Amino acid sequence: MRYAVFALLLSGASFAGAAVDVDFVNASKATRCAEEDNVYVKLFGDGIKSFHIRAEHPVYIGSIAADSTAPDFTHCDMSHDASFPFTPRTVTLYEDANIRLVGHTYATFWRPDVVDFRVGARSEPGLHLVQLLRRRAQGDVEMLVVYPADGYWRAKPLPPAGLPDTAYGSSFLFGPIEEGIRPFVAIRRITFEPSTLTFRLEFKNEARGILAVSSATSVGLDLSVAIEPALAADRPFAALRSMFVGPEQADVAVANWPEQSANRRSSILEFSGARAPLARFERVLPSHHNLSAPDVIFDQFATE
């Protein structure tokens, strides 16, 4: 069923923006540390102003009886990571019958930047993590998080029947991506609109961005993304960040994309890049790391 759905995506029948190609450029590297984002796929396109991101459960989600979400710091050395001190706090930014928005400031973070986060007239600067949760009778579950100080996002569908929740895995960036100790996006302000589940971003280079949750179900989570003005063609407008040690220790292991009316597949570290209207980043084998984490699809690229 999964590959039938992907074939439909390749045909362009489901998405109006499928005719616009972008360049997927792989800058990934090998690692032995399961907590290092060694997967880095950059998206380039001339005049891209909007696109779509979808998170879907992995193909093996129905076979999961017990999830595996614990971190694995084997072969990891984080002692040289940058670290800036902050005063820890947790705040509820917004809640109603359907959603809850919670912000956190950590004791330390790898970037010193203080980003203003707003909901209505409320301003909360200096948050490192903001969680958007769907409220349900059986318990609230996260569906999207953003790290304002470095511009990383993570998304996941609502859990399927039989699982109380699922894990995050891959992250993505969008906007004017910069290279530092690791890639990041410099943001001045994020404003959240509860009625439309929309995040409005003001980047430090004066560009603006929008990310809206257009659908959230137990099958997939859909995000509509826009950037204004469009970035120069030689600068990535989005990127996938993830982890791969091996096929069964990975948050993403395989890249899928259309080429000459056929579906191409490659192990993520061997992915030589592609010019395509969409790409899916997934796992086909169950992973010991973040077992239930979703696949990520980028598509519907548009210049208008």
The model's pLDDT over 188-228, given as tens digits with 9 standing for 90+, comes to: 999 999 999 999 999 999 999 999 999 999 999 999 999 99
- In this predicted structure, what is the pLDDT of residue 304? 86
- In this predicted structure, what is the pLDDT of residue 12? 34
* Cβ partners under 8 Å of residue 164, min gap 6: 138, 139, 141
Cross-strand pairs, 103: 91, 130
Cross-strand pairs, 85: 108
Instruction: Single out the residue of 103, 228, 227, 93 nearest to residue 173, CA to CA.
Output: 227
Average pLDDT over residues 129-145: 96
Indicate the length of the chain as a whole number.
Answer: 304
- In this predicted structure, what is the pLDDT of residue 74? 87
Check pLDDT > 90 for residue 138: no
Check pLDDT > 50 for residue 173: yes
Instruction: Single out the residue of 283, 279, 247 nearest to residue 263, CA to CA.
Output: 279
* pLDDT band (50, 70, 90) for residue 80: confident
- In this predicted structure, what is the pLDDT of residue 81? 84
CA–CA gap between residue 239 and residue 252 (Å, rounded)? 14
- In this predicted structure, what is the pLDDT of residue 218? 97
Q: What is the pLDDT of residues 262-304, one digit of tens each?
A: 899 999 999 999 999 999 999 999 998 999 999 999 999 999 8
105 φ/ψ angles, rounded to the nearest 5 degrees: -110, 125
The model's pTM:
0.92
**Residue 3: helix, strand or coil by DSSP?**
helix
Paired sense of beta strands 187-193 and 116-119, if any = parallel
Least confident of 27-31, 79-83, 109-113: 79-83
Average pLDDT over residues 95-103: 98
Q: What is the pLDDT of residues 237-248, one digit of tens each?
A: 999 999 999 999
Check pLDDT > 60 for residue 166: yes
CA–CA gap between residue 258 and residue 6 (Å, rounded)? 10
Q: Are 156 and 171 in contact (CB under 8 A)?
A: no
Average pLDDT over residues 54-63: 96
Check pLDDT > 60 for residue 14: no
- In this predicted structure, what is the pLDDT of residue 85? 97
- In this predicted structure, what is the pLDDT of residue 19? 72
Distance of CA 159 to the CA centre of its chain: 17
CA–CA gap between residue 163 and residue 60 (Å, rounded)? 13
* pLDDT band (50, 70, 90) for residue 170: very high
* Cβ partners under 8 Å of residue 203, min gap 6: 175, 176, 185, 186, 187, 188, 209
The DSSP secondary structure of 15-71, one letter per residue, reads: -GGGG--EEEEE-----S-TTS--EEEEEE-TT--EEEEEEE--TTGGG-SS-----
Check pLDDT > 60 for residue 260: yes
